[in-house]
Amino acid sequence: MLLCDICGNDIDPGVLICPFCGGQQELPLGPIPAGAVFHKVVNLERGRPLVESALKKLQTELQGGRLQNLRVLTVIHGYGSSGKGGAIGAECRKMLAYLQENGEINMFIPGEEFKRRSGPTQDLLRRFPQMAGNCNLNKGNRGITLVVL
């Protein structure tokens, strides 16, 4: 059995449309084997880069994540020293919204919305129950964004 890219339910190999959610399957992903890496933390603010450099790094990490068959990336973009939100975080989320609209990523969850009671988080936890132990869950961390590939 394989996992649906969208809802995480078991589907038969070779099925292109999930019978549960109707989602089109892009890559033949299998179950997450015990001990396999499905999640990675990416720090875009390390070294205090300019926005353009941070976005390039994000694109590289997204491409690499797909090649490594990662399912979730936690992107650390910071919230800015002013406390009003940083440029890297704002531009990162704009880019992720664009990628989601174009089907290049499944979805993204801003850190402040990464709470058990939020619908997108509940979907994420159904697909990847391992994320229930994530240290950022229910913390309201505006300096991160979770990306589901």
1 — pLDDT class (breaks 50, 70, 90)? low
Which conformational region is residue 7 in: left (phi greater than 0), alpha (psi within -120 to 50 degrees), or beta? Answer: alpha
pLDDT digits (tens, 9 = 90+) for 17-72: 778 767 766 544 445 555 556 899 999 988 889 999 999 999 999 999 998 889 99
Task: Report the distance separating Cα 92 and Cα 96, nearest Å.
Answer: 6
Q: Per CATH, which fold does 35-148 belong to?
A: Ribosomal Protein S8; Chain: A, domain 1 (3.30.1370)
Among the residue ranges 8-17, 56-65, 139-148, the one predicted with the least confidence is 8-17
What amino acid is encoded at 39 in this protein? Answer: H
Cα 131 to the center of its chain, rounded Å: 11
Cα 71 to the center of its chain, rounded Å: 7
pLDDT digits (tens, 9 = 90+) for 66-111: 988 899 999 999 987 666 668 999 999 999 999 999 999 999 999 9
> What confidence score (pLDDT) does residue 64 get?
93
Contact assessment for residue 8 and residue 18, using Cβ atoms and an 8 Å cutoff: no
